[in-house]
Each structure stands twice: as C-alpha cells, then as structure tokens.
C-alpha cells in the first residue's frame, strides 16, 4: 500500500483499502503524483452495498422536510468551501481556476434544487373517481442507488446525482473516475460534516470490475452514469439485463449553426470559448461549426481569434484552458488531428506541437481548426474530446438541419441568428435534446433536466430536475374506500364523528 493512497468511505468511516496495487493520480500539467487511488476489493464493495442497504431502511422514513434541512446545511458547506474544492479540482484535472470554480458551482446549483425536495415529491389525487372512492399517488424511494462519474467534471456530475437521490429518500454509492478522485472524496467529507446519517453515502474507487459489481448486485436498484459511448452502452445493457433502472449519458458531437445575419463578433467570441474551453473535454463542447452561406467568410477571423488562446497551468490567470487529462488522451487527440489531415481536411490552425513554458511534461494541445471537413472523416464522426474545431459550409438552414439530424448523437446544438423565424424553425425541426439560441452551450439549470437524445443518452428519465426525481422514485397509487359498520349507508346518511 502506497503511503498517500486515498481512503474510501464505507459504512460511514474513511477506510484504507486492502488493494495491493493502487494507481497514481497525476497533475496533468506536470505529471507530479498527487496521490494513489485504490481499486476496491470484492469484500469492500460488498460492505459498501450492505451498509447502504441498512442506511436506506431508516432514511426512507425520515420526513422530506427533515431531509431538506440537512441538505440546506450541505449546500451551505459547499458554498463555504467553494474555492477550496475548485483548487483541488484544478490541480487534479488541469482546469483553469475559473473553469474549476464553474464546475463546483454548477454542482452546488443541483444541491440547492435538492433542498426543494418536499414540493418535488408531491403526488397526485382525484376525489370520487367512483362513488365514495378516492385515488391518490405517492412517490417513494427505490433503495440503494449508484453513480458512475467521469473525469471531466469531478464536482458537478457527482452532485448531479447523489444530492437528489438522497433527498428522495435513497442511499447512494458513488464510484468516481479513478483519474481525479480527490474532489469527490472532499465532497463526501463535507456531506458527512453536514450531519447526514452514517452509511447514507458510500464512496468506492476502481474500474470496470467495481462498476460491474454495482451493475449486477441484486441490492442495487438504480444506476446513473456519465461517460463514453462504449462504456455507457455496456452500463445500460448490463444494468437493464439485471432488471435495474439505468440512465446513461454518453457521447456527443455538438454543432453550432451560424447564419449570415448573426452578430459576427458574438459568434466568434462564443465559438472560441465553446470549442476550446476546458481543453474541449466537455460533452457539451461545440466541435463542429456549420456556416450558412456568406457567414463562411468569417472563418479566417475565427482562426485569428483561436490563435490568441493559449493553454496554461491552473493558476495562470492568462491561460485560456489547461492540459488534457492524461498523456494517453493527448496522444489520442494528436492521432485524430493527423488523421484529419490525411483524410483531406485543411488544417488552418495546428496545435499539435504546443509548448507551455516551464511545463515541458504537460499534456498540452493547442487550439486546432479544420476546414473542408466532410461527414465521412474521422474528425467529424468521432468525439475528439480535445481543443479541436471542425468547420463545414452549407447553403441553407435546412441543409444544416439535415446534416445535424443525420448525426448519431443528439446531446446539444445551437444556432446564432437575428431571425426569430429561423430560430423557431431550427428548434422545431432539430433532432437534438438541448438547443441553444444565441447560446453556445445550452446546459439547462437544475429545475429543468439535462436531456440528450439518440446515442448521447440511454434510458428514459434524464439527469437532475423533475425527471431525476422520477428516476430515483417509484410511484405508488392508492385507491381507497372507507366503511363504518355503525353508520347508515346511502346519500342521506348522517355522520357524527364526535
């Protein structure tokens, strides 16, 4: 066991794993080892699930207003430790400090939504559905729920899941990414500090073996997942095969449509940030810009704006974004850039040889811009997950809509235009779950739901918002009629309850 191996939260206690070969967690800008992460043993996984099951048995009967009051304490602690969480997150992901703070804050917004759980759990009622018979429904918790979260948002995405699941009355097991586990651990420490009961939240670390345990264990009722398409498909199929409720948010290829009547400066400024921000490691990043008609003449100015963006370390106030998460991620992106060139795309700006002063070992890729991209090319078909933007040119809005609708992904899209008619036509006909109008990355606030379509989402109920409450609960419908043997029956009966 390495000395700086981070612990796991099992049965309300932070425990060192019996794992014999923990893996290093490195700073993506320096390759410095920040800690080691264990892979939970089968015994530790079983202990976490058993503890979560026991905690649920008591927590389910805690009134929703009481759950909400503890959640209010938690969201206050998250706000109090906001910058501390952001610094931990920045160091292990490489995000700039400003970007890391945004990651934390978007998670806090979901915890705030969880504080509203009493009203979100209200059922339905209808009086006198038949003579002297009433029908009403309750939303009741499922039991043990689990979350499998990715590296790119180690605060926001765990907070998408466990606050709402727990506020609904469930217990929760979090299996965060093994690439940046320190932020989720700190979230769990603050959760304990808020005063939640022992065992309600478990944090275990690991990879596929640990995930498969959660997917197949009979005591786990629901699985929430965010990650790649291949892993998401495995999670969805395996979870469903074992009769679990599953929501799996997966890959994306997000397009921005630029109409000739749009504000050019707004388009360029928004497009630069939406494509290379967070090093392009966002499932809602804009990776394809579709220029309609004369708007294509703006591409040279877009190139100039992208060339001014320089990556850097998390505490560099001038840095536009940070490094990629790992050397392997960098090599994959560089490989796709090379493939784009070989397949005939024109590389207007090449970030393959990016160097950041004083950080020679960082996983750097500079802003990269392609033109003359076609739907058959690998850089169009694959989610690059790097600071790479493809541009395409079409003659009409309907041609742009057809292009996007032919994509197998449907996570997010946007249109920049001054025409209300064009915007409404776009939002009505586009086959994508989240649509922005003059907004480049249309991630909704938590009182709505995150609603990817097609191969960007497997499942029925989406993340956070009212749909997440439905996902983490079962509906129980009661049909009631009451008799009193001592009363006369019929419409003229007299009732005296004194």
Residues assigned a catalytic role: 283
Decide the pairing of beta strands 409-410 and 412-416.
unpaired
Q: How many residues does the chain have?
A: 498
For 495, the token pair is 């009732």
The radius of gyration of the chain from alpha carbons, rounded to an integer in Å, stands at 25
Residue with tokens 């603050």: 190
| CA dihedral of residues 454, 458, 464, 469 (deg, nearest 10) | 130
Q: Are the C-beta atoms of 388 and 285 separated by less than 8 Å?
A: no
């Amino acid at each position: 066991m390495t000395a700086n191996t981070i612990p796991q939260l099992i049965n309300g206690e932070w425990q060192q794993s019996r794992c014999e070969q923990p893996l290093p967690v490195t700073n993506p800008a320096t390759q410095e080892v920040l800690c080691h992460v264990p892979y939970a043993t089968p015994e530790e996984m079983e202990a976490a699930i058993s503890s979560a099951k026991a905690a649920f048995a008591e927590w389910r009967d805690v009134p929703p207003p009481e759950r909400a009051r503890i959640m209010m304490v938690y969201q206050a602690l998250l706000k109090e430790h906001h910058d501390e969480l952001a610094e931990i997150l920045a160091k292990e992901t490489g995000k700039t400090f400003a970007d890391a703070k945004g990651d934390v804050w978007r998670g806090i917004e979901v915890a705030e939504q969880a504080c509203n759980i009493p009203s979100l759990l209200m059922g339905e009622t209808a009086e006198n559905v038949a003579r002297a018979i009433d029908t009403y429904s309750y939303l009741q918790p499922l039991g043990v729920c689990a979350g499998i979260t990715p590296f790119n948002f180690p605060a926001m995405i765990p907070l998408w899941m466990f606050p709402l699941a727990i506020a609904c009355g469930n217990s929760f097991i979090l299996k965060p990414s093994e690439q940046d586990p320190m932020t989720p651990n700190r979230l769990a420490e603050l959760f304990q500090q808020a005063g939640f009961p022992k065992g309600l939240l478990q944090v275990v670390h690991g990879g596929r073996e640990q995930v498969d345990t959660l997917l197949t264990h009979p005591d786990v009722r629901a699985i929430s997942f965010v990650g790649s398409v291949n892993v998401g498909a495995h999670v969805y199929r395996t979870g469903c095969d074992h009769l679990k409720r599953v929501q799996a948010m997966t890959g994306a290829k997000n397009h921005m449509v630029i109409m000739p009547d749009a504000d050019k400066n707004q388009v360029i400024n928004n497009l630069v940030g939406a494509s290379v921000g967070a090093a392009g490691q966002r499932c809602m990043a804009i990776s394809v810009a579709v220029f309609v008609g004369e708007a294509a003449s703006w591409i040279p100015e877009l190139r100039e704006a992208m060339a001014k963006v320089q990556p850097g370390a998390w505490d560099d106030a001038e840095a536009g974004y940070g490094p990629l998460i790992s050397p392997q991620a960098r090599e994959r992106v560089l490989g796709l850039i090379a493939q784009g060139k070989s397949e005939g795309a024109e590389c207007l700006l090449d970030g393959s040889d990016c160097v950041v002063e004083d950080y020679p070992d960082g996983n750097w890729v500079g802003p990269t811009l392609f033109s003359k991209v076609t739907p058959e090319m690998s850089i169009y078909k694959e989610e690059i997950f790097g600071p790479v933007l493809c541009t395409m040119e079409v003659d009409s809005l309907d041609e742009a809509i057809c292009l996007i609708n032919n994509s197998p992904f449907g996570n997010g899209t946007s249109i920049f235009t001054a025409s209300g008619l064009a915007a409404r036509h776009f939002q009505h006909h586009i086959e994508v779950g989240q649509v922005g109008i003059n907004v480049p990355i249309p991630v909704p606030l938590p009182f709505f739901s995150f609603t990817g379509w097609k191969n960007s989402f497997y499942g029925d109920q989406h993340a956070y918002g009212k749909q997440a409450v439905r996902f983490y609960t079962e509906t129980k419908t009661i049909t009631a009629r009451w008799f009193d043997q001592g009363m006369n029956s019929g419409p003229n009966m007299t009732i005296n309850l004194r």
